[in-house]
Structure 1
Amino acid sequence: MSDPAVSWSRVRDRGMIGLRADLSVGVVRKALQKACGLPVPETRRLSVRDDRRLAWMSPDELLLVLPRAGTAPVLAAVAEAMEGRHHLAVDLSDARALFRIEGPGARETLAKGAPVDLSPAAFGLHDFRRSRLGQLAAAFGQVAEEPDAFEMVCFRSVAAHVERWLDVSCRPGSLPGVF
């Protein structure tokens, strides 16, 4: 059961590609943009187009989330676009789990476990953070404003724990009412 102000779901049938390259090089950014179909996001941001998200993970790392069926074609496009350039592109689809947390209480639910300023003034649409949820590594971004909707990625090996955490954090009456 969840609070009417917030709900969560595990998003299935999504592919995830981890990309590593020198993102400070313009030709690399252009090649990745062409292959992924999205501009390389700025620091701690998401680029979003339709059902694709390209997330900034670190100065040399991106995470592309897309429909699972598109994973192999994009990996091939990255290999072609980056030919001769130092890079890594790997299918992480089976190694990661994706969750969607949405509703007016979504921000407060994440704030219960993440050491990130999630106030609306500090964390807005297409902002993205690689952080923690309790003691677990996680990354999340705001993908919609009305209602608030966030997508969160974690290691698949801890997905069952995250599901239990979300169940508890979304219980009726559990939102602190800070935001």
Structure 2
Amino acid sequence: MPLVASAQERVVINDPSIQFSYVKPSGWEVKDDGYTYEVYAPNSSGAYVSFTYVQRPQGDDYVESLGDKPAFKEDFNFELLYNVAEDVEDFKVIERGKTKIDGATALWAKFQSLSGEQEWISYFYMYPKLGQNFKIMTTAPLAAAENLQEDFEKLIATFEAKKR
């Protein structure tokens, strides 16, 4: 179990049917537009991690803990290649993999993009839990991305969701 420094706090967000929480590192700032929840790293030229979730299609009855059934892979690929890629310029997937988030298997993709003159590195994670597809994305300027990714992963490791 990870140790939490006293400067960090567990932040709890209550939505109508889902509660999620994470440990916010000291100095990080939150922006919440009601759809996407973003946590910005200090002194990082706009680097952040975002959380959101959407209800999975009804009838999607595969075992959630597997996270690698064809229907979920199709959902992940659609989200990555159509929704995520649509919001950025020069979208290029660099790497893909699997990891565990909140006890569930998550698929992830590392990609590079361009916004204005700035190159960015992002990681997009998605996993099924509680009848939802949880989506987490980290975004950082290319020059700072590798250094910040470890901090992002530590924050993501504290993410927990449950039914209200």
Asked if Structure 1 and Structure 2 have the same fold, meaning a TM-score greater than 0.5 normalized by the shorter chain, the answer is no
- Which has the larger strand fraction? 2
Larger radius of gyration: 1
- Using structure 1 for the length normalisation, give the TM-score: 0.28
- Which has the larger helix fraction? 1
